[in-house]
Amino acid sequence: MLGLNKRDFRLLIIVLLLTLGTPFLLQPFAEGTELAKFNAGYPDLMQRIAIFGIFAMGFNILFGLTGYLSFGHAAFLGVGSYSAVWMFKLLSMNVIPAILLAMITAGLFSLVIGYISLRRSGIYFSILTLAFAQMSFALAYSVLTPITNGETGLQLALSDPRILDPVNNTGSLPLTNIFGLEMNAAVKIEMLGRLYTFSVGYYFSAAIALLAFYVSLRIFRSPFGLMLRAIKSNQQRLSYTGLSTRPYTLAAFVISGIYAGLAGGLMASMDPLAGAERMQWTASGEVVIMSILGGVGTLMGPVLGAGAIKYLENIFSKINESVLQSWFAFLPDGLENTVVWVFSRFTGDGWPLTLGLLFMLVVTFLPGGLVEGGQRIAKLFKRDKVKPDGENNDEDGAKHKPEPTPRVDE
Amino acid sequence: MSRLIMNRRGLLKSGAAVGAGLAMPTVFAGSAAAQSYTNEPTGASVTLGFNVPQSGPYADEGADELRAYELAVEHLNGEGDGGMMNTFSSKALSGSGILGKKVEYVTGDTQTKSDAARASARSMIEKDGAVMITGGSSSGVAVAVQALCQEAGVIFMAGLTHSNDTTGKDKKANGFRHFFNSYMSGAALAPVLNNAYGADRKAYHLTADYNWGYTTEQAVRESTEAMGWETVAAVKTPLTQTDFSSYITPVLNSGADVLVLNHYGANMVNSLTNAVQFGLREAQANGKNFEIVVPLYSRLMAKGAGSNVAGIFGSTNWHWSLSDEGSKAFVQSFGTKYGFPPSQAAHTCYVQALLYADACERAGTFNPCGVVEALEGFEFDGMGNGPTLYRAGDHQCFKDVLVVKGKENPENEFDLLEIVEVTPAAQVTYPVDHPQFAGGELGDCNPGA
């Protein structure tokens, strides 16, 4: 169905159910208990996971399939955000035109950068994209201040024209919406002592993420996707067969740029602000880490990685020393302080340390990322059933041999 | 390998699926408006959100802000010695929390990035039910979080933010700033510079290339030019610059005799150190001693620049060596708890927390609109800056500004600045529609929900 074989369709249905059920899945602990601090089912974080999932999915089309490691994808995310906010300022608070423009500008931008950067491969390609991203960041931060509002970030103002919207006399800023349905509208339901929040913003992002997932699934399964994998496994050999690989890599680059622009536009739709930090190299590095953490070249991996990082960033960073003190209050004084000191290195402002450790463990013991972890666990339960090695293996590339280091001598 | 085959049946099927998907969100359109404003506290406690930089370039200031907030919460809940609650001119606070509810708090890391700061503020509002957000150590973050709070319907009490824009073109009805701003720095510094260096001076500006740098340069320029100074050149320096020698070299041959460093944090530490290394302080130009000015000082910066700050003028919001009752009480209780005197960032944050609590008490509600009404035009004293007004027109505090000078012989690592003059509030007051603050509207208060 939908042009997918049975297995892939099942995967799509599983992903659909997961996205629909996220507000329940991320809210496992009852309100009022100490563990409620680990709940993550509030709209902002769920939206963020969906949006960064899209970003990472797009990045994976380039990095996972062709093996080209771009260190500048945050630039496309930023360009998308800026275009979307300008749409909100000038045209309408409806998110559809904003997201469309975000995708178009990011696509054009990535076409230019890709056309230049893809003349090199390997580390030179990475450095070129990094340089372009840093240039974009510097431009947005200061030189282009009239367009980007510099350090403060581009924001909505009461005096913006918004030519398609009715005149606003309320004295407060209008909210982003989709044909009148506001993005931050939400229903809160209390059930079994847990508070579930269903918000329009999340379901809108989730619907787009699902669509993005479907497109990426189709790309993975298409002849085009196969060609990209061929480039990854041996670009030189492919060239010797008389094929020009550059149109394929450029297409992959632009597609992943459009994905990043879509993520940027969505981000601005959920929260109409675009700041230059979104384009900084650390933001580009983050998506690389997301992909590797989840599993490069797999379909679900990047989304899992995005979720893991956003969870750590937003939940772990809030467990400060006074929270820890209340947890370990039962211990004798001297011991309590020691335990709190140790734990506070890993939570609160020490959350990047936890992320670093997790990343190290995953890279060392699960080179295929979190997805490989899941597969290993699944295998434990399915040990008896011996399956013939058939067409199933290409699903996530976990059985591929380690890649040779990218060649730089072309 | 599969191909997308579009026949009539397939099209109908997928059309139905897409239609169902699009219709789905409308199911959730009816928002459950049980509360009369965002995060109305219903239990025995009220949650405040302290959003400060815990990592990144301003982590030191963030740590000091957090200490001040913890102290404020202690005092509001009736623990400790009460600090400035005893000297505060309004006596609405009794030490039993706010409106009888115990004050609890959550913390978050702004990372000095607008995005991260907004994410952390949103999680405080959406997950933890915070009814007020406060903190921050950069204007970009303050403006971003202020806009978010306006949208979400909670109060924002700005921490350390000095750019004119926070209460200028980016002002918001739900946001309040106690800290002073670039204009006030310029207006307070100019007369002191005039007395010390004379009216016939030529200034050379080095300006950090971002919003705060621009507004500060503009403020200092306009104030000094009104005194008769001439501006020779204003050069923008990248924010990430660490070596300023190439910017300092042309200064001596430019005909200028004063260098104004519109830099903050590590930028200022590096540029000042470079300038001193290049011998600018011993140099002569136009027959006068060459001078350096730093419009915004903080103790943490003075510490970083070490002995290079000796004798250099700048301005600051508050200093722990002030001897009024409020400052003494605050330094006393902060020092007892942490063992060293508070910074100006700690002071402004502590005061903001108390002002918010007091406004809630006077308004009799946590409703943002009630709080806004209570704070607008509020006059108070006993908080370390003399009589202060929270102006209704732009939600900016008007109070005395300190002009300080780097100490020649500091006694310890906290005793780096000496107060040269306390500029009275009247001298730094400007009309709401002053050109440096033009554009932007306050809008209406937003209670959310």
> Measured between CB atoms, does B151 come within 8 Å of chain A?
yes
Q: Do A317 and B109 touch (CB under 8 A)?
A: yes
Which residues, numbered 183 to 202 in chain B, qualify as contacts with chain A under a Cβ-Cβ cut-off of 8 Å? none
> Measured between CB atoms, does B6 come within 8 Å of chain A?
no
What's the complex ipTM? 0.79
Per-residue tokens: B400: 């005395």
Q: Which of B54, B114, B139 sits opposite A277 (nearest CB)?
A: B114
> Measured between CB atoms, does B247 come within 8 Å of chain A?
no
Tokens 């340089």 locate to A131
Contacts A187 to B, Cβ<8 Å: 28, 30-32
Bridge partners of B205, per DSSP, are B234, B260
Q: Do A44 and B119 touch (CB under 8 A)?
A: yes
Q: Which residue of B14, B122, B207 to mutate against A (max A Cβ within 10 Å)?
A: B122
Could you please state the CATH topology (level 3) that the domain comprising B45-180+320-399 is classified under.
Rossmann fold (3.40.50)
B59–chain A nearest CA distance, Å: 10
Nearest in space to B230 (alpha carbons), one of B222, B239, B238, B240: B222
> Measured between CB atoms, does B37 come within 8 Å of chain A?
no
B122–chain A nearest CA distance, Å: 7
Q: What is the pLDDT of residue A3?
A: 78
Identify the H or E element spanning A200: helix A200-221
Distance (Å, whole) CA B116 – CA A183: 20
> Measured between CB atoms, does B69 come within 8 Å of chain A?
no
In whole angstroms, how large is the CA radius of gyration of chain B? 25
**pLDDT tens digits for A146-174?**
888 877 788 888 788 888 888 777 767 78
Which residues, numbered 325 to 384 in chain B, qualify as contacts with chain A under a Cβ-Cβ cut-off of 8 Å? none
Q: Which amino acid is at B119?
A: A
Could you please state the CATH topology (level 3) that the domain comprising B183-316 is classified under.
Rossmann fold (3.40.50)
Q: Do A45 and B123 touch (CB under 8 A)?
A: yes
Q: Which whole-number Å values give the CA distances from B131 to B137, B153, B155, B315, B371, in the listed order? A: 20, 9, 7, 33, 11
Contacts A348 to B, Cβ<8 Å: 54, 107, 109
Distance (Å, whole) CA B239 – CA B244: 11
Q: Do B31 and A187 touch (CB under 8 A)?
A: yes
Q: Which of A171, A203, A218 sits opposite B28 (nearest CB)?
A: A203
pLDDT in single tens digits along all 410 residues of chain A: 677 888 889 889 988 998 888 888 888 888 777 777 788 888 888 999 999 999 999 999 999 999 999 999 999 999 999 999 999 999 989 999 999 999 999 999 999 999 999 998 889 999 999 999 999 998 998 888 888 887 778 888 878 888 888 877 776 778 888 888 888 888 888 877 788 888 899 999 999 999 999 999 999 999 999 999 999 999 889 999 999 999 999 999 999 999 999 999 999 999 888 888 888 888 899 899 999 999 888 888 888 899 988 888 888 877 777 778 778 878 787 888 888 888 888 887 778 888 889 889 988 998 888 888 888 888 888 765 555 444 444 445 454 555 554 443 33
pLDDT in single tens digits along all 449 residues of chain B: 445 555 555 555 555 555 554 444 444 433 444 568 888 888 889 999 999 988 777 888 888 999 999 999 999 999 888 889 999 999 888 888 999 999 999 988 888 888 888 888 998 998 888 999 999 888 888 988 998 999 889 999 999 999 998 999 889 999 999 999 999 999 999 999 999 998 889 999 999 887 888 899 999 999 999 989 999 999 988 877 888 989 998 888 888 999 999 998 888 889 999 999 888 888 888 888 899 999 998 877 888 888 888 889 999 999 998 989 999 999 999 999 999 999 999 999 999 999 999 999 999 999 999 999 999 999 999 998 889 999 999 999 999 999 999 888 888 878 888 899 999 999 999 999 899 888 888 888 888 87
Q: Do B107 and A320 touch (CB under 8 A)?
A: yes
Which residues, numbered 80 to 119 in chain B, qualify as contacts with chain A under a Cβ-Cβ cut-off of 8 Å? 106-109, 113-116, 118-119
Nearest in space to A313 (alpha carbons), one of A54, A32, A40: A40
> Measured between CB atoms, does B39 come within 8 Å of chain A?
no
Q: Would you kindly state where each structural domain of chain A is located, as residue ranges?
A: 29-280
Nearest in space to A298 (alpha carbons), one of A64, A13, A49: A64
Which residue in B has a C-alpha nearest to residue A197's C-alpha? B126
Q: Do A159 and B441 touch (CB under 8 A)?
A: yes
Q: Do B113 and A275 touch (CB under 8 A)?
A: yes
Bridge partners of B396, per DSSP, are B177
A198–chain B nearest CA distance, Å: 7
Q: Would you kindly state where each structural domain of chain B is located, as residue ranges?
A: 45-180+320-399, 183-316
Helix extents (H) in B364-449: 368-375, 425-428
> Measured between CB atoms, does B147 come within 8 Å of chain A?
yes
Contacts B444 to A, Cβ<8 Å: 170-172
A200–chain B nearest CA distance, Å: 6
Q: Do B177 and B191 touch, CB atoms closer than 8 A?
A: no
The DSSP line for A269-333 is: HHS-EE-GGGGSHHHHHHHHHHHHHH-TT-SSHHHHHHHHHHHHHHHGGG--HHHHHHHSTTS-H
Nearest in space to B447 (alpha carbons), one of B383, B389, B369, B387: B369
Q: What angle do CA A262, A268, A273 make, to 5 degrees?
A: 145
Q: Do B140 and A348 touch (CB under 8 A)?
A: no
> Measured between CB atoms, does B4 come within 8 Å of chain A?
yes
Q: Do A151 and B211 touch (CB under 8 A)?
A: yes
Distance (Å, whole) CA A152 – CA B170: 9
